[in-house]
A and B are shown apart, each in its own frame.
Chain A
Amino acid sequence: MPTSRADIAILGAGPAGLAAAVAAHRAGARVTLLDGAARVGGQYWRHRDGDNGAGHHLWSTLHRLRETPLDFRPGHAIWHVERTDDGFTIHTAAGEVLSRTVIVATGAYDRQLPFPGWTLPGVFTAGGAQALLKGHGVVVGERVVVTGTGPFLLPVAAGLAEAGARVLGVFEAGSPLGFARHPAAVARNLGKLTEGAAYLKTLRRHRVPFRPRRTVVAAHGDDRVRAVTVATLDDTWRVVAEQRIECDAVAVGYGFTPQLEIPLQLGCDTHLDVDGSLVATADDRQRASVPGVYLAGEVCGVGGAQLSLVEGELAGRHAAGAALDKRLVRRRTTLRAFAVAMHRTYPVRPGWQSWLADDTLVCRCEEVPVREIQRSIVDFGATEPRTVKLLARPGMGLCQGRVCGYATACLVASAGTRSVTAGDLLGLSARPIAAPITLGALAEQQVEEA
């Protein structure tokens, strides 16, 4: 496997990583930008060769960032990062990179809540439906239901409708009216409202109903989804009324979970963010608690692409030793205020646990149903998720708890009539190997080191 050196290695080539790479390059650093994918852009700007940018937001920004010549390494899925005497060794599927400094910009993926039938083929994450469309030009179904909570549901539904799917509705468990409680944060970010309004306009043009305080509480089918139960919810997300809708695809997401494998491998401090996700802790210069590690984008708090771009630029500048840019710091403050308002407007309410049946799978990989998790709590006295994982195996499968970690933590906490803590989520987030690697590749590396 090849080995190369850089001043600054940037891990992840989405909005945060790209902005960081360009800023550090401009400040004179020797930069290497790594990503597992074949192209820059991350999940946000996922695109195909020859993509003209239609349906993409901030496309001109990607265009501008791409003009800077960067040492971009596609196909470099990172499986481990370790500290060395003079920096870091980044182990990837395509070789090792040594660097003095790292900027972690690994992004986030859809946060999920289990419900009966969510394992049926045809039920996709909202981000998955979006990725299939933007990255592969494939529409997930002919009659699609979009559901969950948060502003991301709007571009997903709008994209599907524009691509020719019949979107039967956007069922938003929360309500955008909550933004009214945060007038200052909204007033300073009017562009965000305009963006949301544009998506709603697209939905209206395609006659797609937007229904707040409703969500999918069950999916039905045999070898694929054929229908869903959409429930009207009360303030705590308990079901007050139900309707059945025939469909052939569901796109669902309840906010986002940051990808924390690398910060945790490096021993970086974490904390619980306003949205209830575990995030890596960054200071005002985007520095992690570990010297030489910078953080940018969703990994240090979910806030959208514009915030990621600003954090990336700040991280890139500081990592390269450039002066503090007060204009960028102010912009970050403004965008973070909006992110907090967004998280407070679209919280996950505890009533989702009432949608579950005893046999609803929580862990998709190890096929662990709710009753096994309850048994580990009630019969065996588990009081925190890590013990439940050891007893009932949620999070022990191939995805390593990426999908079920949040739900498992919520179930354990609520059984103990307490709130989810950072420690609960931490217990299900540590993954010493962040991406699959063959024993052959591992062995090859051992030989080189010997």
Chain B
Amino acid sequence: MSFSFAGKEIVFGAGQSVGAALIAAGYRSWRTTRHDGAPRGVFCGIGVCFDCLVVVNGRPNQRACLTEARDGDEIEPQEGTGHAHLAC
């Protein structure tokens, strides 16, 4: 099974989260913070800290550590709030 991350194919095992699969594939960060634009990835790994936010099939602000990976998902890195397209 695999999902796409920023156009690359990421293979994952059954029951793995998006965050776990990205770490296994060598990624450590997939979002930037709102103020400093600093890179962040998984910190707490159990849904507490909200640092590992990612865009899942067009929906921003999903916790990669809790989101179970599904075959064919389209995952994208998240910048800031993930809602830049709504800014006027």
Contacts and interface: CB of A to CB of B under 8 A. Distances in A.
Given A119-B40, A364-B51, A132 B20 contact: yes
Question: Which range holds the interface residue count of chain B?
Answer: 35 or more
Interface stretch (B2-10, B31-39, B71-79): B31-39
A124 B40 contact: no
Interface residues of A, number: 36
Interface stretch (A133-141, A178-186, A192-200, A317-325): A133-141
Interface in B33-72: 33-36, 38-51, 53, 61, 65-66, 68
B42 A124 contact: yes
Chain A, interface SS category: loop
A109 B15 contact: no
Nearest to B20: A136
Contacts of A124: 42-45
Interface of A: 36, 38, 43, 48-49, 109-110, 119, 121-125, 127-132, 135-138, 140, 223-224, 364-367, 397-399, 402-403, 436
Contact of A223 (B15, B28, B47, B51): B28
Given A138-B24, A224-B29, A365-B50, A49 B14 contact: yes
Contact of A138 (B20, B51, B66): B20
A137 B23 CA distance: 11
A223 B40 CA distance: 8
Contacts of A110: 44
B75 to A, nearest CB: 16
A127 B42 CA distance: 12
Nearest to A404: B49
Contacts of A109: 44, 46, 48
B40 A132 contact: no
Given A49-B14, A128-B46, A398-B50, A138 B29 contact: no
Contacts of B46: 43, 109, 127-128, 131
Given A128-B42, A223-B39, A403 B28 contact: no
